[in-house]
Amino acid sequence: MIGNLRAGHFVGPYSLERDSSTNAYYYMERSSVFDAFWGPNEYQTGLMLFNSYLDDRFTYATALARVGKTTQNNFGFEAEDGLYAAGIRLTGLPVYVDDGRVLLHFGVNYFHQALADNTFTVANRLPLRAGGGSRQVPNLLATGKFFSPHGADIVDVESAFVYGPYSLSAEYAFARGTDLYESFDGVSYSGPRGDATYHAFYVEGGFVEVHAVDAGD
């Protein structure tokens, strides 16, 4: 059974962290993986197929979307009107006990996107969300600009573990660009630089203890 079809504007079905709403976010800041690779593609306009099986123990989601600067965050790969992206996310939940108080989650993601202005670049700002923009919160790392006639690919693996008040989550991702060049004049490429692969990961843990409060106190 194929499942559900969603058409319109939605959060792309990639990455554990990006699929976690900031309204109920467990950790204080987004990770370097989010900024460098996932941030520019957080919201997409297109079609998404998704479903769950085995009492929600296994899920899949795949999307084909147009990516445009008017609907994207301009970090990482950027995007522009007329360009397209596609990918898939698979997740498994081998352990789920006591309504989620104990769980073990795994997932894998693949994503391919056309490059805005044929430009391949990756950047990661400081783990801070209090500033107004890139001038106030500068990039900690930036690759500089390369140019390619091809798109870019991202592969990501994710995991999460919860045991009562303790939690641990991690992701590892890499982005790859092929046939990169130093310059592009709109017609021809020059200065071949080969291929490039960039890696990012995070491991985060937390402890949250909840105490009942007597209304009469």
> Cα-flanking dihedrals φ and ψ of residue 25, to 5°?
-80, 135
What the block records as the tokens of 217 is 């106190």
- Specify the 3-state DSSP secondary structure of 147: strand
How buried is residue 29: exposed, middle or buried, by Cβ count under 10 Å (0-12/13-18/19+)? middle
Cα gap 69→73, rounded to integer Å: 7
> Which tokens hold the place of 37?
């690779």
Nearest to 138 by CA among 5, 35, 26: 35
Task: Give pLDDT, residue 117.
Answer: 80
Tokens standing for residue 197: 């692969």
* Contacts for 23 with CB less than 8 Å, ≥ 6 apart: none
The predicted pLDDT at position 81 comes to 61
CB atoms within 10 A of CB 205: 11
CATH number 3.40.50.970 given to 4-207: no
Instruction: Give the pLDDT of the chain (217 residues) as one tens digit per residue.
Output: 678 999 988 888 888 888 776 666 666 677 778 878 876 667 778 899 999 999 999 999 999 988 755 445 444 455 556 688 899 999 999 999 999 999 999 999 999 988 878 888 888 776 666 555 556 677 777 888 999 999 899 999 999 999 999 999 999 999 999 999 999 998 999 999 999 999 989 998 888 877 767 666 5
Nearest to 83 by CA among 110, 53, 46, 130: 46
- For the chain, how long is the longest CA-to-CA vector? 75
Query: Rounded CA gap, 66 and 205, in Å?
Result: 35
Domain residue ranges in the chain: 4-207
Q: pTM value?
A: 0.83
> What count of other Cβ atoms lies within 10 Å of the Cβ of residue 63?
23
Q: Which of 112, 47, 116 is nearest to 81 (CA)?
A: 116
8 Å CB contact between 70 and 80 = no
